[in-house]
Structure 1
Amino acid sequence: MIIPRVSILIPVYNRESFIGPCIQSAIEQTITDIEVIVVDNASTDKTWEVCKTFARQDSRIRIFRNETNIGPVRNWQRCIDEARGCFGKILFSDDLIDPLFLEKTLPFLCDEEVGFVFTLAIMGTEPWTGQEQYGLAEKTGKLPSSYFIQESLFAGNVPYSPGCAIFRTDDLRKNLVEEIPSPTIKNFYEHGAGPDLLIYLLVAKEYAQIAFVSKPLSFFRKHEGSITISDKSNYINRCYRQARIWFAEQYLNVNTTGKVYAFEWRREYYEGRKFLLPSLWLSNYTKKAVSISLLDIVWVLFYKFIKPKRRSTRRWFKLI
């Protein structure tokens, strides 16, 4: 058996209109030493028929079908379980990647200090038209992992979806979590908002560097069926908030975690324009006996004026 170098992982459910172009973008990679793993999560439309058509045309495409719908995150895990490649690239079924995606990202992973590589992405309703996202740096290159984590927690100009990134497959297996402990939010495995971001954060904390490609080699499709577009109640924002708070409590020092609390408290106010006392608000996200200090609230209010320049890191920002 020939072991492919890269496994492109496509979980899919009821995407008969999008799955064909998605698979096509995977097999058109200029690096051909790949396998494309497609796992159909018991679709009720013609998705499976489209998958079978592609599999008959290219032996690198391996297709699987769940007997019942096991939820998005568990289907991501099924894709990873089937992967044979050293490197894993999750590609969601309504998205696309440029033919040069692997060619431009894989060389960075030859450096064992680099945890993952992500690219600039375009988000829009039509392929490769729309707004550019995730411009973390001005140039292609390596960045400190601590800087990526800092931006994830305080700035937001980083990807949440792993759809524009490539990882080592073992890191995907290790760091895809189904549930996040929360006093008020349950069933993260049913939508994946939070577990997707944690893939980035949990991998980043294990490596000295990450890498960024400043060319838009990923396309995220906006449509009514996507979870971020259909969410009207800020529930998804709360799920990501819980993921960031949990990560901070587990892996960051006490001072930084306090700043995360204050920052998320302010974020939620601006999203919903509903004021809650910090202690009452915090009980929605942690069972720990902690509070938001006045000093951290002041820091948050002035953050945009003292935000560090790119490629720099704060002295207070340290992993435990």
Structure 2
Amino acid sequence: MTLLPLSPKISVLIPCFCQTCFLEEALASVIRQNWQDMEIIVADDASEDGASMVVEAFQRRDSRIRFYEHPQRLGLTANWNWCLREARGQTIKLMGGDDLLEAPDCLSRQWAALQKPGLALVSSARQLIDEAGEPIRIESTFSPGLHTGAAARDRMLETQTNLVGEPVCALFWRKLASRGFDPTYRQLNDMEFWFHLLTQGDLLYQSEPLVSFRMHPTQQSQQNWKCGLSSEEHVRLLLQEASKPCCSRNARRAVALWTWDMLPHLPRSSALNLMESAQRLRSQLGHIRFWFAAIGHLLRRLADRWERSIRKRIGRRNTSS
């Protein structure tokens, strides 16, 4: 039996809800790592789908695994924060019960990379897989190597994208994560947390897909997208981060223009709640500068549409001839 170290270097946290059909595969991917100095915490969020039987089978041969069943549903972010509070490791690897550590040296490579002074986190590309575990595509969102925290934050704001990736992609220092995940975010809690970490240190990105992120219709993120929660949170988060003093003017301008496009598509109540923040951001840029940028942005969009229209017409003519 593999024994639990008293003060592990890595805490692998697996908060799960109704993921028992994937949990055995997820745990097996952690156990087969060539890294031994870790604890594994599985926290089932009152799903009552038999997760305990899966985990107990692993516990009989590996004492590094600790299992908890919440008597009442906490919710996604609260369960993540519960796991963080229970962790004893120097660093954190947070993954869903349906995710995989694809490479057997994922933890050892990310631990070694994180030893570089000044880093807050390490992240890698990921293999997207479907419900059956079949590969969909590889997503690599940053150029490999070191990115300062400020540059990584600005790039995420300029592209309006979670470039760090899902939690399974990252390994980060527990001492920098004492604040936990912001409970006011249900969908973009990971992206908000990356912004928080990147104010405290830098990012090292590994272009190899060391992990797999599973996409399936029943996962919580898919449900949030369908109900429109994600769009409102997306605008709120970027307005929040772009208004901070550490944000560059280019990133602030990109968010202001993107928000200008997005607000009309939100539910009226959400748009009204966010309008004041959007106006404050525009005033930080200067109203004249913003409207010049907005006109240029609009003209570029019109030019792109005109170019696409011309290409379609040419394509139809070539097909008919």
2:208 to 196, 202, 215: 215
Which residue matches 1:110? 115
1:211-251 Cα shifts (integer Å, max 9, x gaps): 00110011111111123333324321321221121122234
Which shows bigger deviation, 194-203 or 166-175? 166-175
Are 2:123 and 2:165, in contact at CA under 8 Å, matched by a contact in 1? no
Which residue matches 2:135? 129
SS in 2 for 1:79: helix
Distance 1:85 1:283, change over 3 A: same
Q: 1:129 is matched by which residue type in structure 2?
A: P
SS in 1 for 2:226: coil
Say which one has the larger Rg: 2
Which residue matches 2:101? 97
Q: TM-score, normalised by structure 2?
A: 0.79
Are 1:13 and 1:43, in contact at CA under 8 Å, matched by a contact in 2? yes
Q: 1:215 is matched by which residue type in structure 2?
A: E
Distance 1:213 1:75, change over 3 A: same
Which residue matches 1:165? 170
Which shows bigger deviation, 115-124 or 256-265? 256-265
Distance 1:296 1:44, change over 3 A: farther
1:15 to 13, 19, 35: 19
Task: Measure how far apart 1:77 and its partner are.
Answer: 0.8
1:34-66 Cα shifts (integer Å, max 9, x gaps): 111111111121122212222222111111121
Q: TM-score, normalised by structure 1?
A: 0.80
Task: Measure how far apart 1:161 and its partner are.
Answer: 2.3
Are 1:133 and 1:157, in contact at CA under 8 Å, matched by a contact in 2? no
Structure 1 position 295 matched with structure 2 position 289: no
Task: Measure how far apart 1:136 and its partner are.
Answer: 1.0
Distance 1:174 1:286, change over 3 A: farther
Distance 1:94 1:299, change over 3 A: farther
Which residue matches 1:119? 124
SS in 2 for 1:96: coil
Is there any run of 5+ residues in structure 2 with no aligned partner, and where?
Answer: 283-289, 302-321
Q: 2:232 is matched by which residue type in structure 1?
A: R
2:192 to 192, 195, 198: 198
Q: Distance in 2 between matches of 1:114 and 1:259?
A: 26
Are 1:128 and 1:219, in contact at CA under 8 Å, matched by a contact in 2? no
Q: Distance in 2 between matches of 1:92 and 1:12?
A: 6
1:247 to 231, 241, 244: 241
Higher helix share: 2
Are 1:263 and 1:300, in contact at CA under 8 Å, matched by a contact in 2? no
Are 1:118 and 1:166, in contact at CA under 8 Å, matched by a contact in 2? yes
Distance 1:196 1:120, change over 3 A: same
1:237 to 225, 231, 237: 231
Distance 1:253 1:158, change over 3 A: closer
Is there any run of 5+ residues in structure 1 with no aligned partner, and where?
Answer: 180-187, 305-320
SS in 2 for 1:295: helix
Structure 1 position 177 matched with structure 2 position 174: no
SS in 2 for 1:250: coil
Which residue matches 2:41? 37
Distance 1:254 1:147, change over 3 A: closer
Aligned residues: 284
Which residue matches 2:312? none
Q: Distance in 2 between matches of 1:32 and 1:303?
A: 53
Which shows bigger deviation, 42-51 or 294-303? 294-303
